[in-house]
Amino acid sequence: MKDAEHHHHHVRDTFGSSFGVLVALAGSAVGLGNLWRFPYLVGENGGAAFILIYIAFVCLLGIPVMLSEFIIGRRSQSNARGAFRRLAPGSHWGVAGILAVVCCILILSFYSVVGGWGVEYLLRALRFDFTSGGSSDLSSFFTTFTASTWKPLVCHTAFMLASALIVVFGVKNGIEKFSKVMMPVLFVIMIGLAVRSLTLPDAGAGITYLFRPDWSKVTSDTVLAALGQAFFSLSLGSGMVITYGSYVSKKANILSLSAQTALADTLFALIAGCAIMPAVFAFGISPGEGPGLVFITLPHIFSNLPFGGAIAILFFLALLLAALTSSISLLEVIVTFCIEEFKLKRKTAVALTAFVLWVLGCLCSLSLGVLGDWRIFGKTVFDLFDYVSANVLMLIGGLLVVLFVGWKMDRKAIHDELSNSGSLHVPEWFIGLLTFLVRYLAPAAILAIMVFQWIS
């Protein structure tokens, strides 16, 4: 065996420590989904009721899907496609892995564009540009900037290059090292921003909005939005947990890692909510602004806040760090796939992937401006990628993963992964509950919500 490994021309990378795994997983989960998407979805869907449904989905569907992906990844020690093929040789399950890779390609294309906006806004904050200018200026700035041709492309290029530069160093020396430093920084900044916001004179209305549910606002759209957001925010159905899981040591406890990741992600979403909503209410702005919320509303608030200039810098720095620790995970799914399925060197795989994604990202960016008339199914490229990934591919990916673990995979292999071949004690009732969630509840719920979405 040892000899065989020596003859292999590449030895698989691994994470260095379980803290490293946790920050890498949390780094992937915590991203624009928490700081940009979650606050505006909460605002559009009426606040606390949405949050409670979201949390229920994270626990009942998110954790079982994440654990299933973990089981597939760590068992197979292989990329998203290779994992299915190794565990079910001679079957068509590899297609599930290909779908996951396609999903990451679509997400990263527009993610890098929004990350680029983060770069521009951080630079503006550093020039103290938000301390002047009213909210209508800020809104027209956002629209003009995102629709223009060159500047967003330059920012998108910088963001993609930064992501590629981290991933080229590999899992342990690139992704893990970066996340270990940046996640604590991100946490401290976000706590600081939340404290600042919660101590504003009129913070009460924002807190009520976040924590007192108004069930009359709940519609079927709220339920769909909550499920889509749970999957997007936890990076599920995209092969991320399969890929990172394949680099996790056989001694790590994947059960507690899954629970901790889900907890950290939810905590970050709530902290982001606490940093944003009280300020929105204190300044009498409508929370239902939509996707422009953090790019239009927040700069307006910063311009009126004591020390607003410094707060703006911290906020957009946080946004950029959160986006980077997620974009590197999206890139890694595709890169690991290319390395193993096409036998490429990491450097070649990173260069190739980053280039193709850079081109796709350019299309996304331009589709908000000069290419705006080019519609596919009535959507711009940007909106199409966003819609197809979060509302279709991630859900199908999650469904296939639970079906695979629930109905196809060998029971003993699953039990071995959960208990680390018997060295961890996993109670019977827990296995029973998990089996029920993975076999019946999660597939039925995901399918029902998807079908409902398509017929309505």
Written as six digits, the tokens of 342 are: 């096409």
Minimal distance in Å, beta carbon 81 to ligand PHE? 16
CB-nearer residue toward ligand PHE: 87 or 330: 330
Minimal distance in Å, beta carbon 239 to ligand PHE? 8
238 binds ligand PHE (CB under 6 A): yes
HSE at residue 440, side-chain half, CA atoms within 13 A, is: 5
Minimal distance in Å, beta carbon 179 to ligand PHE? 13
Minimal distance in Å, beta carbon 134 to ligand PHE? 30
Minimal distance in Å, beta carbon 101 to ligand PHE? 11
Instruction: Return the closest-CA partner of residue 204 out of 279, 141, 107.
Output: 279
Give yes or no for a contact between 402 and 68, defined as CB atoms under 8 angstroms apart: yes
Among 45, 235, 297, 365, binds ligand PHE (CB under 6 A): 235
With CB under 6 A as the contact rule, which of the stretches 90-98, 167-175, 232-240, 303-311 interacts with ligand PHE?
Answer: 232-240
Minimal distance in Å, beta carbon 212 to ligand PHE? 26
Q: How many residues bind ligand PHE (CB under 6 A)?
A: 15
Q: Taking CB under 6 A as the rule, which mask of x and - marks residues 196-215 in contact with ligand PHE?
A: --------------------
CB-nearer residue toward ligand PHE: 30 or 403: 30
Minimal distance in Å, beta carbon 37 to ligand PHE? 7
CB-nearer residue toward ligand PHE: 32 or 450: 32
Written as six digits, the tokens of 324 are: 């980077």
* Centroid of chain to Cα 39: 14
367 binds ligand PHE (CB under 6 A): no
232 binds ligand PHE (CB under 6 A): yes
Q: Taking CB under 6 A as the rule, which mask of x and - marks residues 140-179 in contact with ligand PHE?
A: ----------------------------------------
Minimal distance in Å, beta carbon 234 to ligand PHE? 6
54 binds ligand PHE (CB under 6 A): no
CB-nearer residue toward ligand PHE: 36 or 130: 36
Q: CA-CA distance, 379 to 124, in Å (whole number)?
A: 30
Residue whose C-beta lies closest to ligand PHE: 33
Minimal distance in Å, beta carbon 104 to ligand PHE? 6
Minimal distance in Å, beta carbon 283 to ligand PHE? 26
* Residues within window 284-343 making contact with ligand PHE, judged by CB under 6 A: 326, 329-330
Collect all residues with Cβ–Cβ distance below 8 Å to 106 and sequence separation of at least 6.
Answer: 385, 388, 389, 393
CB-nearer residue toward ligand PHE: 20 or 31: 31
Among 63, 107, 305, 418, binds ligand PHE (CB under 6 A): 107
With CB under 6 A as the contact rule, which of the stretches 143-151, 228-236, 280-288, 357-365 interacts with ligand PHE?
Answer: 228-236
* Residues within window 1-40 making contact with ligand PHE, judged by CB under 6 A: 28-29, 31-34
109 binds ligand PHE (CB under 6 A): no
Residues that bind ligand PHE (CB under 6 A): 28-29, 31-34, 107, 232-233, 235, 238, 240, 326, 329-330
